[in-house]
Structure 1
Amino acid sequence: MKRVLITGAAGFLGSHLCDKFITEGYHVIAMDNLITGDLKNIEHLFHLEHFEFYHHDVTKFVHVPENLDYILHFASPASPIDYLKIPIQTLKVGSLGTHNLLGLAKEKNARILIASTSEVYGDPLVHPQSEDYYGNVNTIGPRGVYDEAKRFQESITMAYHRFHGLDTRIVRIFNTYGPRMRLNDGRVIPAFIGQALRGEDLTVFGDGAQTRSFCYVTDQIEGIYKLLLSDYREPVNIGNPYEITIKDFAEEIIKLTGTDQKIIYQPLPQDDPMQRQPDISLAKKILSWEPTVTREEGMKLTYEYFKNLSQEELSKKEHKDFSKHIRK
């Protein structure tokens, strides 16, 4: 049985990756420091023989006993609210954390996949964004802590590949949504759905003409899995190329939820990208991958998930005692 380490495992994408690898017959070692992750996302796996969880911060030395076949590094704050609140930790997990995990991959002779992001393109001057575009990033702006952490992450990963011959993969993740997102994390979809469920008007920043492209989580996970098992070592965009303006998307949410909220407008945050659309030609070519879940289908599933949360969970998630399942 192959063994895989997944960091950021209690987060949105990390928890879905745990599900995927368990389903595919792997022994999964999950790791998270729980700054932004939630053990509720993986509690359904605790009883399994081939799942174990380590409560650990990857910016500190990472030790995993026995062999490893794969490492997937998904530990990082990913929402503006989080990385603006904890900017130093965001930079450290992208730099020190990545360095530690690359070292672990070298020690274990394991293949490592690094989770990068469309934010490496910044506020792009090229549309749609392909992997050969170098980006337009403000290194000293408030969003720079996340953007530059990810850009450094890509650089050190390629350095380990070229200098040490490490077997590496890099995925550039575009906006992804689905169950287990946090309602109030500042990202577009949970923010809009949370406001609709609470009966609040929907907040759009700027004039709403900026675009985003939303990929349902099952499509994203399948793309990541295929990339890990491929022979391609440079960055690959994984996302849904069908873009929509934020204003039009807010109107879709109001229609989906059956509410009568209005759209209100607030000033656009500094360096907020005006366009975000992946060119997925490379993923189609080398992975035979493209998204299959339409936004209409995915949003219905996502809305049902949030609607079924209890009112207590909508305001603040209750925490169970998971201590017997946690390794230090």
Structure 2
Amino acid sequence: MHYLITGGAGFIGSHLADALLDADHSVLAYDNLSTGRRGNIAHLEQNPRFSLAVGDVLDRSRLDEAISKADVVIHLAAAVGVKRVMEKPVETIKTNVGGTETVLELAHQHDKKIAIASTSEVYGKAMQKDEELDALSETDDWTLGTTSKRRWAYACSKAMDEFLAKAYADEHGLDVISLRFFNTVGPRQSGRYGMVIPNFVRQALAGEDIRVFGDGKQTRCFTHVFDAVEAVQRLLASDDDLRGEVFNVGSRHEISIRNLAERVRTLTDSDSNIVYVPYEEVYGAGFEDMRRRTPDVTKLRETIDFIPGRPTDEILQDVIAAVREA
């Protein structure tokens, strides 16, 4: 089969391209290289079943040509990372909503199967509003902050992507699924846009202070990119009618950011100090963050008999090895 991956030169997209090529498919990576990097896919350039098209998801005519030739579309292109979202809110909203709208419309016109990337960010502050909630299910309510806080622009834009996908499934019968990724991490991920693990690893290896934003007591579940890629492949290969469905894609291994910094320091054998930096110093006054966010992956397991399970230390060791090699 021929796959089109928007954002195919990005972190997740490049690993997905690896896996699909290993499974004897062909892949067109479509990327404007704003956050994606040629280095992520350089090892694929000699593969006759791989090609790169440099283009923007807002470029309708160029995207139309790419989608028309694909059997399956995987839409990953988006503005990513808290830092980039805070610095470029207009680009975030235009890319995430406008780009997804164009991709879905063209996928409908050409009758293509499609998966779109969403995010655990759409849950917002749900677990803080309901402290008895142990894990976030696809059917749980979501709670976002005020529109005056640009922190929530990304979450809102990705929620709109899900609404659009569901609308195309219900109104036009489009074969589309939405994937809510929870903190996907692994080799090739850049720390330039605020991703915590590559930043911690780089700081530890350089002997710099490991900078923890906030008090470090906030917890997250980190998902190895290899597990995320396997989940995507299995969902797209499923014989079930999944059109319009939403899936959490995440690990249940929960860790505080403070403990994460300590594990990075231990695994790198680093003498770095762990320092705590107020959110306001990084993102400006009034920044809001979630204290806890863990996924309920029951639906994923029941659908494809798989859940991401690689432990946090394995993720850290893989990232450390990749940073050292680079």
Superposed pair shares fold, TM > 0.5: yes
C-alpha RMSD of matched pairs (Å): 1.4
Q: Which residue of 2 aligns with 1:189?
A: 197
Instruction: Name the % identity.
Output: 37
Separation in structure 2 between the aligned mates of residue 179 and residue 283 of structure 1, nearest angstrom: 24
State the TM-score, normalized to the length of structure 2: 0.91
Separation in structure 2 between the aligned mates of residue 85 and residue 25 of structure 1, nearest angstrom: 40
Q: Which residue of 1 aligns with 2:302?
A: 285
Separation in structure 1 between the aligned mates of residue 134 and residue 58 of structure 2, nearest angstrom: 35
Separation in structure 1 between the aligned mates of residue 290 and residue 47 of structure 2, nearest angstrom: 42
Shift, 1:88, TM fit: 1.4
Q: 187-196 or 64-73: which moved more? A: 64-73
Shift, 1:139, TM fit: 5.0
Which structure 2 residues correspond to residues 1-328 of structure 1 after superposition, within 5 A? 2-61=1-60, 62-64=63-65, 66-125=68-127, 126-140=133-147, 141-230=149-238, 231=240, 232-233=242-243, 234-268=245-279, 270-309=287-326
Q: Which residue of 2 aligns with 1:319?
A: none
Runs of 4+ in 1 over 4 A off after TM superposition: none
Runs (5+) with no aligned partner, structure 1: 310-328
Structure with the higher helix share, 1 or 2: 2
Separation in structure 1 between the aligned mates of residue 250 and residue 140 of structure 2, nearest angstrom: 16
Shift, 1:218, TM fit: 0.6
CA contact (8 A) 2:253 2:311 kept: no
Separation in structure 2 between the aligned mates of residue 183 and residue 153 of structure 1, nearest angstrom: 25
Runs (5+) with no aligned partner, structure 2: 128-132, 281-286
Q: Aligned letter for 1:105? A: A
Q: 52-61 or 133-142: which moved more? A: 133-142
Q: 57-66 or 191-200: which moved more? A: 57-66
Q: Aligned letter for 1:77? A: A
State the TM-score, normalized to the length of structure 1: 0.90
CA contact (8 A) 1:68 1:108 kept: no
Q: 289-298 or 143-152: which moved more? A: 289-298
CA contact (8 A) 1:127 1:275 kept: no
- Residue 143 of structure 1 aligns to a residue whose secondary structure is helix
Shift, 1:77, TM fit: 2.2
